[in-house]
Amino acid sequence: MSRKPERIQGTDGVRGLVAPSSRFPKDPLAVFVEDDFLTEEFFELYCYCHIKNLLERGLMSEGAEVPIAWDSRDVEGFYTSRAISGISRAGGKPLLMGSLPTPAVPFALAARGAPAGFMITASHNPADQNGIKIFLAPDGMKMLPEDDGHLTVELFAADYELIKRLPEKYEPVGIGVEARSMMMDFHIDPRNSWFAEAPPDDFILILDTACGATAGIAPEIFQRVGFGTVMQVAGEQNGRINQNSGVALLEGIKDFSGTSGSGHLLVKKMWKESRGEEYRAGKTVFGVSFDGDGDRFYLLVYNPHTDSINILSGDECAALQARFLIETEPEKYRGSLFVHSVESDINLSRHAAELGYRPEITGVGDKWILQKAAISPERFGLGCEETGHSIHAGYLKKSDDSERTVFAGNGIKGALNTLAAVTVLAEGERDEKFFNRLAEPFPPGYKKSAYAYYVKKSSFKRNSDVWQEAEQCIKKCFGSSAPAGLILESGRIDTEPDMLFFRLNDSSGMTAGAVFVRNSGTEDKISVNVRGMVSLKNMLDAICEDILLLLMRRMKNMENRMAIAEAEILRMIKAGKMFAETDFDDVNFSRLLSEMEIKEKIIGKNGDSYELTELGRRFIG
């Protein structure tokens, strides 16, 4: 094998493009490491090795139950069935939960005392990708780096040719009805939904279930909690997961006006309902957008005073939840931890502290927030990620009527909790002040994330050539444009040692901003992120663009078919040539154009054709 990584896992398990093993004349681990594809054989190998590792380390016994659930992208079960086979061959008894949101797996671990669980999903990634998340006993924690290391060693020591000839030791057992009932009971419990009474009957609620795992259960949960009008878009579990739907397409967007954003199915439906007879009768239109596996969400609200749809990210939703908790149970939550990742608005920590919480910042990934909750559950108040993870204590009833406290990134619970907080705000008039408080529950700072796709992530490691070039570029940009009294301070996030991180401190030592560069843990992209006071916007924008251009020029992986196609499209646009999907039949053409336009922002629409943006022109020179 040409390269042997220290850890196979990304931020949250493994995920990526999938393809049948018949395409590759090599073993499944080599295909993943060298070609960046997950085959059905890899799913079998990965799940086998994890169970075998737990057995060898004495962390589970032969024949122990292993819950497994999945999102709805693998309609035929081509990959999921091999994951189940891997569990059985290794010595675990697979418990088949069916297509359910990711939190169902840690709930099953806590309820049944299982040693491990799997979720087959690629979360918010497109439908041509899949992946595996692992949950650990006893409380459903996610894999930490040391766990990743154990599994990686096991994977490289494994002989797949031998594994695939082993007998399947334990017949899978279906527990889908039981698992669905558990999820339903959990969310309608007032302690978990935070609704002591039914929500206002003038709320119209539209759920975007992204053709994913929440499609089969979320509408019924919200109806049983008491929402009178519940609609659904992208509710078909037909494999088109996250297509024109889902939370990822809304990231980085604050609002839509007119009929903008109507390519997104939820936004399109909200425009229709907000201008229909129901709205004119005094209804308030809300939307909830989930990701493919249902562990995160955004809340959308139609503002009639500005004729716009406001998008509340994980930051705004957490701020609303935090105020609700501190006002309803001040003795319990004053002084408790409010944990968020480095991606959040710079002002969120200040807001949490003003409310009475103790803010702490972690690396990217809800597992780091979950770790804080596991270490000190009695001190943990609330956790969030800007991308929509929401974490708060939940109360799970077991079959013997005993109860467990559980923590999990949970889009359905987070949405319910945020709407409960909104209900308190909605007791007065639905005036302009009400909608403004929803859109901006704390004074926002400035935040921007920019992306370079189809990159060779291995070239950006701590102290690598590209890493050091980016470090010097940040220092140079800051030195030429920083206002007086602002100090650039190099920092380090221990949970992400390869992240390039700088704080911007004011003369009093308070953090006024941050700049950080990090590889995605789940996609072939890298991001430049700037956060800070609004007054620093121009400087932060300049730093962000200069660093992004450096990364684009130095990290594009020209062995990647998407990178090759992207370069050709840019050349054709620059030369004024027309191009069509038939010119690029070896890539996902619609995804490529979407990522170039919406995520990288190097091309833009001009009527029926595309043109280079200013960033695109700078990139290709």
Query: DSSP secondary structure string, 399-459?
Result: TTS-EEEE----HHHHHHHHHHHHHHHTTS---HHHHHHHH-SS---EEEEEEEESB-GGG
Distance CA 572, CA 566 (A): 10
The answer, yes or no, to whether residue 466 has pLDDT greater than 60, is: yes
- Better pLDDT: 612 or 278: 612
Class of the domain covering 14-174: alpha beta
Q: State yes or no: cis peptide before 138, omega within 30 of 0.
A: yes
Mean per-residue pLDDT over the chain, rounded: 93
- Please give the C-alpha separations between residue 6 and each of 16, 154, 156, 360, 584, in angstroms, as whole numbers: 18, 12, 10, 29, 35
Q: Dihedral through CA 262, CA 267, CA 271, CA 276, nearest 10? A: 130
Residue 34: the pLDDT is 87
Residue 261: the pLDDT is 84
- Tokens found for residue 94: 């697979």
Q: What percent of the chain has pLDDT over 70?
A: 99
Query: Predicted confidence band at 523 (pLDDT cuts at 50, 70, 90)?
Result: confident
Distance CA 396, CA 183 (A): 9
Q: Which of 228, 201, 218, 196 is nearest to 420 (CA)?
A: 196
The answer, yes or no, to whether residue 522 has pLDDT greater than 80, is: no
Q: Which of 214, 292, 215 is nearest to 247 (CA)?
A: 292
Going by C-beta distance under 8 Å and a sequence separation of 6 or more, which residues neighbour residue 390? 296, 297, 314, 317, 318, 321, 383, 384, 409, 410, 411, 413, 414, 417, 418
What region does 463 belong to: left with phi over 0, alpha with psi -120 to 50, or beta? left
The answer, yes or no, to whether residue 259 has pLDDT greater than 90, is: no
Residue 341: the pLDDT is 93
Angle at which helix 176-188 crosses helix 218-225, to 10 degrees, equals 40
Residue 347: the pLDDT is 93
Query: Predicted confidence band at 493 (pLDDT cuts at 50, 70, 90)?
Result: confident
Angle at which helix 346-355 crosses helix 314-328, to 10 degrees, equals 0
CB 96 within 8 Å of CB 41: no
CA neighbours closer than 13 Å in the CB half-sphere of residue 122: 24
The answer, yes or no, to whether residue 1 has pLDDT greater than 60, is: no
Distance CA 189, CA 82 (A): 36
Strands 255-257 and 284-290, how do they pair? unpaired
The answer, yes or no, to whether residue 10 has pLDDT greater than 80, is: no
- The answer to whether domain 14-174 and domain 445-548 are alike in fold is no
The answer, yes or no, to whether residue 496 has pLDDT greater than 90, is: no
Query: Predicted confidence band at 298 (pLDDT cuts at 50, 70, 90)?
Result: very high
CB 357 within 8 Å of CB 383: no
The answer, yes or no, to whether residue 281 has pLDDT greater than 90, is: no
- Tokens found for residue 462: 């701590």
CB 349 within 8 Å of CB 361: yes
H or E element at residue 179: helix 176-188
Least confident segment among 173-187, 275-289, 362-376, 502-516: 275-289
Match 């049944």 to its residue by tokens: 112
Q: Phi/psi at 521 (nearest 5 deg)?
A: -85, -5
The answer, yes or no, to whether residue 568 has pLDDT greater than 70, is: yes
Query: Predicted confidence band at 9 (pLDDT cuts at 50, 70, 90)?
Result: confident
- Tokens found for residue 505: 């401190």
Q: What percent of the chain has pLDDT over 90?
A: 80
Distance CA 390, CA 265 (A): 23
Q: Give domain 176-312's CATH superfamily.
A: Alpha-D-Glucose-1,6-Bisphosphate, subunit A, domain 3 (3.40.120.10)
Q: Dihedral through CA 213, CA 246, CA 220, CA 429, nearest 10? A: 160
Query: DSSP secondary structure string, 268-333?
Result: HHHHHHHTSHHHHTT-EEEEEEE-TTSS-EEEEEEETTTTEEEEE-HHHHHHHHHHHHHHH-HHHH
The answer, yes or no, to whether residue 2 has pLDDT greater than 60, is: no
Distance CA 193, CA 203 (A): 16
Query: DSSP secondary structure string, 478-519?
Result: HHHHPPTT-EEEEE--TT-TT-EEEEEE-TTS-EEEEEEEEE
Average pLDDT of span 330-346: 95
The answer, yes or no, to whether residue 6 has pLDDT greater than 80, is: no
Residue 127: the pLDDT is 95
- Please give the C-alpha separations between residue 50 and each of 46, 511, 585, in angstroms, as whole numbers: 6, 42, 37
What does the pLDDT look like over 468-488, one tens digit per residue? 999 999 999 998 888 888 999
Residue 57: the pLDDT is 95
Q: Taking the CA atoms of the chain, what radius of gyration do you get in angstroms?
A: 24
Query: Predicted confidence band at 495 (pLDDT cuts at 50, 70, 90)?
Result: confident
Angle at which helix 465-481 crosses helix 537-555, to 10 degrees, equals 160
Least confident segment among 121-125, 260-264, 322-326, 454-458: 260-264
Distance CA 165, CA 158 (A): 13
Average pLDDT of span 280-291: 89
- Give the angle 209-421-253 at the CA atoms, nearest 5°: 50
Residue 3: the pLDDT is 60
Give the three-state DSSP class for 4: coil
Domain boundaries, the chain: 14-174, 176-312, 445-548, 558-621
Going by C-beta distance under 8 Å and a sequence separation of 6 or more, which residues neighbour residue 276? none
Query: DSSP secondary structure string, 198-249?
Result: PPPTTEEEEEE-TTSGGGGTHHHHHHHHT-SEEEEES---SS-TTTT-SGGG
- Tokens found for residue 503: 């704080």
CB 408 within 8 Å of CB 391: yes
Beta bridge partners of 530: 448, 515
Query: Where does residue 514 rank: exposed (0-12), middle (13-18), buried (19+ CB within 10 A)?
Result: buried
What does the pLDDT look like over 90-126, one tens digit per residue? 999 999 999 999 999 999 999 999 999 999 999 999 9
Residue 50: the pLDDT is 97
The answer, yes or no, to whether residue 173 has pLDDT greater than 80, is: yes
Average pLDDT of span 386-412: 93
Give the three-state DSSP class for 163: helix
H or E element at residue 188: helix 176-188
Class of the domain covering 445-548: alpha beta
Residue 277: the pLDDT is 67
What does the pLDDT look like over 350-388, one tens digit per residue? 899 999 999 998 988 899 999 999 998 999 999 999 999
Average pLDDT of span 157-170: 96
